[in-house]
């Protein structure tokens, strides 16, 4: 059953009902879709503007911030995604870790969706975005900030910077493909 944010039944006469058009306008359709996707269908859902704000704050904004970080610095450094990065085995340990986590995410989301368990796929995606934002990007910032424009300077610093860009690009592209069925508008913008 769908209940209001306090767990009480929604009633038009009590003024606790939320109309779809109002919810889509105020919450955003992707946030609203994510609220439903991460909910176990066997349990009641407490639905309201607060739950959508929570999804936006804890998931959509961090995802968008990682994307924005990448785009900002990729434009500054004129990073070209067509440029092949170093082999994963030659990248920094942090790069190899997040690529490993990404591969696990792909397997988990695929398995969850094949078993009609979107809530597991959604929650696993949230955990990955948290790791990407709070661990990978936060600990790799200096690698993106290194001096030199990609492709113009040689040496290990350039290779390390290229590795960071290639890794984050791969993570974002794969993640947007995984999230597209859940949040088509945000992922399309990305």
Burial (CB < 10 A; 0-12, 13-18, 19+), residue 47, is buried
> Can you give the pLDDT at residue 41?
79
pLDDT in tens, the chain (190 residues): 667 677 667 667 666 666 667 777 788 889 888 988 888 877 777 777 778 889 999 999 999 999 999 999 999 999 999 988 899 999 999 999 999 999 999 999 999 999 999 999 999 999 999 999 999 999 999 999 887 656 544 444 588 999 999 999 999 999 999 999 999 999 999 9
> Can you give the pLDDT at residue 153?
47
Give the integer Cα–Cα distance in Å for 129 and 62: 7
Give the integer Cα–Cα distance in Å for 26 and 75: 32
- β-pair partners for 3: 9, 46
**pTM for the predicted model, two decimal places:** 0.86
Q: How far is CA 95 from CA 1, 134, 183, 190, in A?
A: 43, 14, 26, 21
Cβ atoms 126, 139 nearer than 8 A: no
DSSP letter assigned to residue 106: H
> Can you give the pLDDT at residue 1?
66
């Amino acid at each position: 059953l769908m209940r209001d944010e306090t767990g009480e039944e929604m009633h038009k006469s009590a003024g606790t009902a939320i109309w779809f058009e109002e919810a889509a306008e105020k919450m955003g359709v992707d946030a609203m879709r994510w609220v439903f996707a991460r909910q176990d269908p066997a349990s009641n859902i407490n639905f309201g503007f607060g739950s959508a704000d929570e999804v936006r704050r804890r998931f959509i904004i961090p995802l968008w911030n990682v994307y924005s970080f990448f785009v900002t610095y990729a434009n500054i450094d004129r990073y070209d995604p067509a440029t092949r990065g170093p082999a994963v085995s030659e990248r920094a340990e942090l790069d190899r870790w997040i690529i490993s986590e990404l591969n696990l995410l792909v397997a988990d989301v695929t398995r969850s969706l094949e078993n009609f368990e979107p809530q597991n796929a959604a929650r696993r995606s949230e955990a990955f975005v948290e790791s990407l934002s709070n661990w990978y990007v936060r600990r790799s910032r200096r690698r993106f900030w290194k001096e030199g424009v990609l492709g113009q300077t040689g040496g290990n610093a350039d290779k390390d910077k290229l590795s960071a860009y290639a890794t984050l690009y791969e993570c974002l592209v794969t993640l947007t493909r995984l999230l597209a069925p859940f949040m088509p508008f945000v992922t399309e913008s990305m």
